[in-house]
Structure 1
Amino acid sequence: MQCDYYDAGVCRSCTLMGRPYPLQLSGRVQHVRDLLAAAGDVTWLPPVESPEADYRNKAKMVVGGTAEEPTIGLLDRTGRAVDIRGCGVCTPGVRAVLPVLAEFIGTAGLTPYDVAARRGELKYLLVTDSPDGRVMVRFVLRSQEALPRLRKHLPALLRRLPQLEVVSANLLPEHKAVVEGDREVVLTEASTLPMRVGDHVLHLRPQSFFQTNTTVAAALYRQARAWTQELGPASVWDLYCGVGGFALHCAGEDRDVVGVETSPEAVASARLSAREAGLARVRFEVGDAGSFARAAPDVPELVVVNPPRRGLGAQLGRWLEASRVRHVLYSSCNATTLASDLAAMPSLRPRVARVLDMFPQTAHQEVAVLLERD
């Protein structure tokens, strides 16, 4: 893939840009295999490839410049705002709305936040594109000051962009290196973006996590479902379940599935998807994965874990190692912490694994591993 921003030195976020895709993929696969070599003999399935471009369904864009001439993109190493609204790894649906949003910033008088001066209102634009062409836009603001103007001009924006399903304002008053705050104000009638992935429609609320690459996410869920069908467990836990992708795809007529997630917004979305799919034996709970596992009176036949980059954590890892759980399906976005977690659970041996290329043009990797107790 060729990128003008990368070639000009404007953006170097995609660290492997310009390297032939087959070499990128083989390098990621070898890196993961090297990290997991100490875990023993593993059957490696062929890696899941991704489109090289147009794959990111979510853009987290820094807003700089002025309301009349905003930049939508990132801050460079000097703190200067850089416009990359034509970023080629974002989906066409994301790219299509950014020029209109740039005009809207001026119309609504949304002054971009000046990091150095610590003044201004609009910090970020967070844009998510669904497989059906519907879009969610979140304006990350420093305060409520701009909310009346957002509401006033929103009808005109919706006329310009009829594909907008959800529009919200996220309030981030603190001056710190985070992308969003705790409070969300939904400005449209709809509050969830339907994301059709595999056999299910997953409902994404503004503060819910979702996989960045929809095509590869569908392949990940298909792989999880195939392994689950092969094992045929009567009971499954999906820990760190997010909006329920693994739980819903691993469901079966004779199978009890429980999803656990700390985010109430994500759990509300997962419950809606389960109701729409008519999955009466799938339920979701708000809670900490480790606390849920330690307090449960019994253990399931299969545990699915999809932790954040930091991995499982010591408590859940110790619980899994000491438990009677026969199989664990571990989906990891960080093979380094995956290797550490496997080392802490020697009774659960990797049986089969697969690299899924969720992030082309970067060194990041996604790997799914099926573990079986010795």
Structure 2
Amino acid sequence: MDLQKNKVYRCQITDYTADGTGFAKIEGRAVFVPRTAVGDQCDVRIVKVTKNVAFGRVEKIIVPSAQRTAPACPVADKCGGCCYQHITYGEELRAKEKKVRDALTRIGGQDGAKLLGITGAPTTEHYRNKAQYPVGRDKEGSIVTGFYRPRSHDIVPVEKCLIQSETADKIAAVVREWMTEFSVMPYDYEKKRGTIRHIYVRVGEKSGESQLTLISATKKMPKLDVLVERLRAAAPSLTGILLNHNQRDDNVILGDRTDVLWGEPMLEDRLCGHTFLLSPEAFYQVNHAQAERLYACAVDYAGLTGEETVLDLYCGAGTITLALAEHAKTAIGVEIVPEAIENAKRNALRNGMENTEFFCADAGQAAQRLAKRGIDVLVVDPPRKGLDATARDAILKMQPPKVVYVSCDPATLARDVAELCGAGYTLEKAQAFDLFPRTFHVETVVLLSHKKADSYIHIDVEFGEGEGKIPVDSIAKRAEAYKPKEKVTYKMIKEYIEAKYGFKVHTAYIAEVKRNLGLPMYDAPNAVEELKQPRKHPTPEKVEAIKDALRYFAVI
């Protein structure tokens, strides 16, 4: 019997999806219910039904889960920042560990026992050292800062965020008041006009310093001197106030040019015993305490003796590179962001790490060029989309004995692990780390070692009169083990997205996301016609929706 839209059904939540949504089976149909906990017995109203799945919302909790708790955040049910405010932290860690293990087994085809566990955070509040507040107006026209509502550009006003630093909230409040008093307009993304786009605050956990970067769509603003004076009085920890110019039409936060309004252009902090100078563009883990544990694990997995040459791809400001350099003969860092590489070079000099080298280049292209150096250990810490095809190919050509992969997305990690293990590597062990309490994000470190062939399969090919003879008995077991997956069509992905998110996506958008993720492509019947028109790129929210669908169908 098919589920009926708007009808209320009683069910029990039995699992979580990758994005923290509750999962239940109702009359044999998979149903996704946000803001629920495993063990909840509840009445759920069906809001959308598709061919394969349905989506619902809670009408009433009949028997609450033992893992359910009252959210500490007053806007937890509205803001898109946190999805686990309503469950205990122990349950959140269980869900995240399961998420990583499921990805490694279902997508990666690996033994789930290789995941040794998850390391929880010492605190779930005020742990973020980086805050990026979008700026807009509420229904009354007042200037607000906060975070986006799920799957929208509507800003949920948040003046005190439980996971951001209190310093960042205080600085954002000063900017809001200045904008209101001097009629500085927030940027309107639909009308493409206005001034302030984002308020970006970074704080140094160990140094005690803080830095503000205002992201503006215009070059001139009134009373900047007043803003600087008020900020310095309200936040004595500020060491730099910067103005970043961004006139792009998309949702990329930082523009290409940054000017110093007052103070220093870079923030200083200490991590893993080293001092770092950080530009606004440089990558730096947002959870200081957990980053030290994460990097310690990566160094441990590398198993360095002091004689190795280590290559660190996606090195950012050199945080992992310097940690590796303490135990290696040579540590080489590669990063595509010029500002980050300049930071990394200066950081190496500041810390007296003379056995380091840094290159500004694409990770895959740099790996190809550096292969001849004889890399003993390769460390990668890629963005959420994982390794691109060029980087994976370079790794397989280089064949370093060890690969330490630091990942912020279990699905793309598992995809890359499957690719590397299919080409001669073995997953030795893995450890998950919660750097983002109350959100669905989780970091993982895995160790891969290269398998050296101890035997070879000899295949004879004989060409006779129109016939070929290939003895393949020695690979029969592999052939029997191979089971082709059910093909995931563009139609299935489009139906899933329309049902869950309420908007449609073009086939070309799905193809572009797959291409960027390095997934295999096939020709579409209308490909030639599509190329006659200028290519349009999907918005960030549609990119995330497509990735969500690809995860749901176990493509990534």
Same fold (TM over 0.5): yes
Cα-to-partner distance string for 1:243-300 (whole Å, 9 max, x where unaligned): 1111011113761111010111111111111111111111211111111111223231
Of the candidates 192, 203, 206, which is equivalent to residue 129 of structure 1? 203
Alignment of 1:262-301 (within 5 A): 262-296=336-370, 297-301=372-376
* 228 and 102 in structure 1: CA distance in 2 versus 1, 3 angstrom threshold: same
Of the candidates 339, 349, 360, which is equivalent to residue 437 of structure 2? 360
* 203 and 120 in structure 1: CA distance in 2 versus 1, 3 angstrom threshold: same
* 167 and 108 in structure 1: CA distance in 2 versus 1, 3 angstrom threshold: farther
Please state whether the residue corresponding to 2:432 is helix, strand or coil.
Answer: strand
Matched letter for residue 287 of structure 2: N
Moved more, 153-162 or 12-21: 153-162
Q: State the partner residue of 1:345.
A: 420
Q: CA deviation at 1:226?
A: 2.3
Of the candidates 393, 397, 401, which is equivalent to residue 326 of structure 1? 401
Q: State the partner residue of 1:18.
A: 86
Q: CA deviation at 1:333?
A: 0.5
Q: CA deviation at 1:2?
A: 1.4
Please state whether the residue corresponding to 2:78 is helix, strand or coil.
Answer: coil
* 173 and 230 in structure 1: CA distance in 2 versus 1, 3 angstrom threshold: closer
Alignment of 1:138-177 (within 5 A): 138-146=213-221, 149-151=223-225, 153-177=227-251
Identical aligned residues as a percent: 28
- Aligned-partner Cα distance in 2 for 1:110–1:158: 20
- Aligned-partner Cα distance in 1 for 2:90–2:307: 37
Alignment of 1:99-110 (within 5 A): 99-107=173-181, 109-110=183-184
Q: State the partner residue of 2:257.
A: 183
Please state whether the residue corresponding to 1:219 is helix, strand or coil.
Answer: helix
Matched letter for residue 405 of structure 2: Y
* 109 and 336 in structure 1: CA distance in 2 versus 1, 3 angstrom threshold: same
Q: Is it true that 1:88 corresponds to 2:162 in the alignment?
A: yes
Q: State the partner residue of 1:192.
A: 266
Please state whether the residue corresponding to 1:275 is helix, strand or coil.
Answer: helix
Of the candidates 105, 127, 135, which is equivalent to residue 63 of structure 1? 135
Q: State the partner residue of 1:245.
A: 319
* 159 and 93 in structure 1: CA distance in 2 versus 1, 3 angstrom threshold: closer
Matched letter for residue 90 of structure 2: P
- Aligned-partner Cα distance in 2 for 1:25–1:281: 38
Q: State the partner residue of 1:316.
A: 391
Q: CA deviation at 1:318?
A: 1.8
- Aligned-partner Cα distance in 1 for 2:445–2:306: 18
- Aligned-partner Cα distance in 2 for 1:41–1:129: 37
Matched letter for residue 388 of structure 2: G
Q: CA deviation at 1:225?
A: 2.3
Q: State the partner residue of 2:302.
A: 228
TM-score by length of 1: 0.92
Moved more, 210-219 or 97-106: 97-106
Q: CA deviation at 1:124?
A: 0.8
Matched letter for residue 127 of structure 1: V
- Aligned-partner Cα distance in 1 for 2:98–2:152: 35
Please state whether the residue corresponding to 1:45 is helix, strand or coil.
Answer: strand
* 41 and 116 in structure 1: CA distance in 2 versus 1, 3 angstrom threshold: closer
Structure index of larger Rg: 2
Matched letter for residue 385 of structure 2: R
Cα-to-partner distance string for 1:167-188 (whole Å, 9 max, x where unaligned): 1111111232222222222223
Q: CA deviation at 1:221?
A: 1.3
Q: Is the 8 A contact 2:310 2:332 kept in 1?
A: yes
Please state whether the residue corresponding to 1:257 is helix, strand or coil.
Answer: strand
* 281 and 125 in structure 1: CA distance in 2 versus 1, 3 angstrom threshold: same
Please state whether the residue corresponding to 2:263 is helix, strand or coil.
Answer: coil
Please state whether the residue corresponding to 1:32 is helix, strand or coil.
Answer: helix
Moved more, 235-244 or 287-296: 287-296
Please state whether the residue corresponding to 2:280 is helix, strand or coil.
Answer: coil
Q: CA deviation at 1:162?
A: 1.8
* 253 and 60 in structure 1: CA distance in 2 versus 1, 3 angstrom threshold: closer
TM-score by length of 2: 0.63
Cα-to-partner distance string for 1:56-99 (whole Å, 9 max, x where unaligned): 11111111239x94211134466544321201011223223222
Q: State the partner residue of 2:74.
A: 4
- Aligned-partner Cα distance in 1 for 2:210–2:185: 23
Cα-to-partner distance string for 1:281-336 (whole Å, 9 max, x where unaligned): 11211111111111223231001100011111112112212323100110000111
Matched letter for residue 172 of structure 1: N
Q: State the partner residue of 2:145.
A: 72
- Aligned-partner Cα distance in 2 for 1:254–1:13: 39
Moved more, 259-268 or 103-112: 103-112
Q: Is the 8 A contact 1:331 1:368 kept in 2?
A: yes
Please state whether the residue corresponding to 1:341 is helix, strand or coil.
Answer: helix
Unaligned runs of 5+ in 1: none
* 41 and 22 in structure 1: CA distance in 2 versus 1, 3 angstrom threshold: closer
- Aligned-partner Cα distance in 2 for 1:315–1:303: 15
- Aligned-partner Cα distance in 1 for 2:163–2:146: 13
Q: State the partner residue of 1:214.
A: 288
Cα-to-partner distance string for 1:218-246 (whole Å, 9 max, x where unaligned): 11111122233456552101110001111
Matched letter for residue 378 of structure 2: V
